[in-house]
Amino acid sequence: MKEVKIESVFQVYEGILELPEDLQELMQKAIEARQKAYAPYSKFYVGVALLLDNNEVVLGSNQENASYPSGLCAERTAIYYAGAQYPKAKILKMAITAASQLRTTLEPIPPCGACRQSISEYEIRQKSPIEMYFMGERGKVVRSYSLSNLLPLIFDKSQL
Ligand code: THU
């Protein structure tokens, strides 16, 4: 038996204003997308903005359903839209923000496990990293150099 250590490194920004200017703009778009979320059940509003290598910005927000599992997270709404609309474009950056109507969300909110798995499909397919930035309603922003940095020991098509 041997032990394997996997290390993930993240950058933590004190707030949006500490981000490079292009990222401030992308996060601002994610905040606007968040306001369009349809989340009457959880009252947890998530917004995403993707920057593609064709310069398009794709927005997404969570879309809930009375049949709870039929709803979809903001991250998957955005990447599936990007994949459907611009199948040849690479996703360069993803900005995520989440806010709850029930409390103030100050800690950075990372994408859920199912979203990480879904985003990883796109990162592997495009053969280049998707830079991830995530925050709560306001406050600190966390950067991950890639999706795989957020999801080590990933299940991917090479294992099928
Ligand atoms: N949600 C997202 O949109 N992204 C995540 O990564 C975590 C959760 C949504 C799903 C649901 O509409 C609400 O947040 C509460 O889970």
**How many beta carbons lie within 10 A of that of residue 123, not counting itself?**
22
Ligand 1 pocket test target in 59, 62, 63 with most atoms within 8 Å of CB? 62
Model pLDDT, residue 31: 98
Task: Write the residue with the smallest CA distance to atom 10 of ligand 1.
Answer: 73
pLDDT in tens, 3-42: 999 999 999 999 999 999 999 999 999 999 999 999 999 9
Ligand 1: distance of its center to the CA of 1 in Å?
A: 38
Model pLDDT, residue 27: 98
Model pLDDT, residue 29: 98
Task: Write the residue with the smallest CA distance to atom 1 of ligand 1.
Answer: 73
Among this protein's residues, is 75 annotated catalytic? yes
Of 72, 54, 55, nearest in space to 63 by CA: 72
Of 115, 125, 134, nearest in space to 156 by CA: 125
Q: Are 59 and 75 in contact (CB under 8 A)?
A: no
The CATH number assigned to the domain with range 14-159 reads 3.40.140.10
Model pLDDT, residue 74: 98
Model pLDDT, residue 142: 98
Model pLDDT, residue 60: 98
Model pLDDT, residue 5: 96
- Distance CA(29)–CA(8), nearest Å, equals 27
- Distance CA(31)–CA(95), nearest Å, equals 9
Ligand 1: distance of its center to the CA of 3 in Å?
A: 34
Ligand 1: distance of its center to the CA of 68 in Å?
A: 11
Q: Which residue ranges make up each domain of the chain? A: 14-159
The tens place of each residue's pLDDT in the chain, 160 residues long, gives 999 999 999 999 999 999 999 999 999 999 999 999 999 999 999 999 999 999 999 999 999 999 999 999 999 999 999 999 999 999 999 999 999 999 999 999 999 999 999 999 999 999 999 999 999 999 999 999 999 999 999 999 999 9
Which residues have any ligand 1 atom within 6 Å of their CB?
39, 42, 44, 46, 62, 64, 71, 73-75, 111-112, 115
Is 0.85 topped by the overall pTM? yes
Strand order in the sheet with 10-13: 10-13, 141-144, 131-135, 91-100, 44-52, 57-61
Ligand 1: distance of its center to the CA of 79 in Å?
A: 14
Model pLDDT, residue 115: 98
